[in-house]
Amino acid sequence: MAAPNIETIVSLAKRRGFVFPSSEIYGGLGSAWDYGPLGVELCNNVKQAWWRWMVYERDDMEGIDSSIILNRLVWKYSGHEDTFSDPLVDCHECKTRLRADKLEFPGEPETSGEIAKMIREKRIKCPNCGSTDLTEPRPFNLMFETHVGATAEDDPSALVYLRPETAQGIFINFLNVLTTSRRKLPFGIAQIGKSFRNEVTPGNFIFRTREFEQMEMEYFVRPGEDEQAHHEWIDNCFNWFTALGISADNLRLYEQPPEELAHYAKRTVDIQYRFFPEREEEERQWDELMGIANRTDFDLRTHSRKPEDAAGSRLNQDSTEDLSYFDEARKERFYPYVIEPAAGVNRTVLAALMDAYSEKTNEKGETRVVLKLHPSLAPINAAILPLAKNKPEIVGMAKAIKRSLQPVLRGVYDDTGGIGKLYARQDEIGTPLCVTVDHQSLEDEAVTVRDRDTWEQERVKVSDLAEHLQRRLKEANLKSGV
């Protein structure tokens, strides 16, 4: 089973300290969320799993961490200044601002012209008040502006943007990485970091926010080898999500139609997750978890000083470098093509939480939430629990065990309830293993290890405990290939 809707996860996330509404004591800030003690661990585990899979387990990958604020020219030549916008409409009646392409249309308009026509003909309703009195759609650039240095606010030379994608930081460093790593094609450059978009209609919890984190990789190949590489990366990425424990039944591939493609893309296939299972119409249950684009040579070419138009003028008047590649073996110079798998950390966290959600009834007929997170994602590996908190010897032993495990795994000690309540709490946050210290432990130097998913228990010697827990966690990870 998976969560029946996002609301179930919102309430679990707040109750147990995964995610809190941001700035709550000042009334909040629309669609901004803070990650709590468990949420930060889950995010870190997602990022570590991605980095391990993408960078460490391959022979053709380098990592990078570029600035969030880049020279404004990067966004001029990438095309974002001109085209990175959503079509915005205002409702004259209730003053709500809406994304024109997300309104409910009769049929499926394919172009922005068709959308505008339907709105003009008053065939479309405001989802907030039902009025059909909407403005014409107009482009709204999604990049957040700020200013660098102690300059006047309206000084255009100080204008910069917070990056809306991490990708450009990779393209502008292509030559630096190529020359310092001495790589040959094909190879990739991976980056994880925050991106910012002034979304017109953010929402659905952490699904669409204005500040979010991306895990992006740009894979550089010879032109002509791009389609095969694209195909392979689509498969690789789909398999990564299932290896993380996300059910293939809740994942699907979506081929972006030509009218949806970004200005740089020749082809893009999204991996979608069933984020909205409660929606009646199957087609509306899915939304993007990750995009895998064939960006052609657009980015390396556009940031290069050499390319010229038909009249012989440089297309990029500002770049000081040529980002082409010289193939020694074939004595050929060209701009590599790029395959880009781009995933969101926050959407991966949401998909992992929704997919892991399950309910189980105990022998007393009580329904418990069990979060069957993949062990490599679980915020806590093992909880160390004393059976009696008023017995100093038991408490002392449990705390000593927790400390001894600290160097090898993420453990917590908890004595704030009876053992049933403590188990329920750990099940609800996805802790794969619980270790219970009881009266007998004082005699036989052994503890009970309880499994989150089966609730089965086994007795393990304290001297073997660290190895036992590590083996169990490793086995679970190996089984799924992560």
**Site residues (CB under 6 A) for ligand GAP?**
165, 167, 197, 199, 208-209, 212, 214, 216, 288-291, 340, 342-344, 346-347
DSSP string, 317-341: SS------EEETTTTEEEPPEEEEE
> Which one, 87 or 344, has the nearer CB to ligand GAP?
344
Least distance CB 210 / ligand GAP (angstroms): 7
Task: Please say which residue, 338 or 465, places its beta carbon nearer to ligand GAP.
Answer: 338
Residue pair 216/168 in contact (Cβ under 8 Å)? The answer is no
The distance of closest approach from Cβ of residue 353 to ligand GAP in the complex, given in angstroms and rounded to an integer, is 14
What's the min distance (Å) between Cβ of 342 and ligand GAP? 4
When the beta carbons of 78 and 381 are compared against ligand GAP, the nearer one is 78
CB 395 → ligand GAP: shortest distance, Å? 43
Closest distance of CB 62 from ligand GAP, Å: 18
Task: Give the nearer residue to ligand GAP in terms of CB position, either 251 or 290.
Answer: 290
For residue 288, the minimal CB distance to ligand GAP (Å) is 5
Do 198 and 142 contact (CB within 8 A), yes or no?
yes
Are the beta carbons of 213 and 333 closer than 8 angstroms? no
Using a 10 angstrom Cβ sphere, with 0-12 exposed, 13-18 middle and 19 or more buried, the burial of residue 56 is exposed
In the complex with ligand GAP, the residue whose CB is nearer, 62 or 216, is 216
Q: How far is the CB of 147 from ligand GAP (least distance, A)?
A: 23
- Taking the CB of residue 187, how many other CB atoms lie within 10 A of it? 19
Question: CA 153: distance to chain centroid?
Answer: 34
CA distances (Å), 390 to each of 59, 165, 444, in order?
Answer: 54, 54, 20
Question: Which residue is closest to ligand GAP by CB?
Answer: 344
Contact 138, 147 (CB under 8 A): no
Question: 86 vs 414, which CB is nearer to ligand GAP?
Answer: 86
Nearest-5° Cα angle at 154, 151 to 157: 65
Helix (H) or strand (E) holding 80: helix 80-83
Q: Long-range contacts for 153-160 (Cβ within 8 Å, ≥24 apart)?
A: 159/72, 160/69, 160/70, 160/71, 160/72
What phi and psi values does residue 35 have, to the nearest 5 degrees?
-95, 125
For ligand GAP, the closer of residues 208 and 452 by Cβ is 208
Q: How far is the CB of 167 from ligand GAP (least distance, A)?
A: 4
Q: Which residue number, 214 or 431, has a Cβ lying nearer to ligand GAP?
A: 214
Q: Which is nearer to ligand GAP, 165 or 427 (CB)?
A: 165
Beta strand spans in 247-401 (E): 251-255, 267-273, 287-296, 325-327, 332-334, 337-344, 357-361, 367-371, 382-386
Q: At what angle do helices 6-16 and 419-429 cross, to 10 degrees?
A: 130
Task: Determine how β-strand 61-63 pairs with β-strand 187-196.
Answer: parallel
Cβ atoms within 10 Å, residue 263? 12
Q: In angstroms, give the least distance from the CB of 216 to ligand GAP.
A: 5
> Which residue, 134 or 343, has its beta carbon nearer to ligand GAP?
343
Question: In whole angstroms, how close is the CB of 379 to ligand GAP at the nearest point?
Answer: 20
What ranges in 416-481 are assigned the alpha helix state H? 419-429, 439-444, 462-480
DSSP letter, residue 256: P
Secondary structure (3-state) at 386: strand
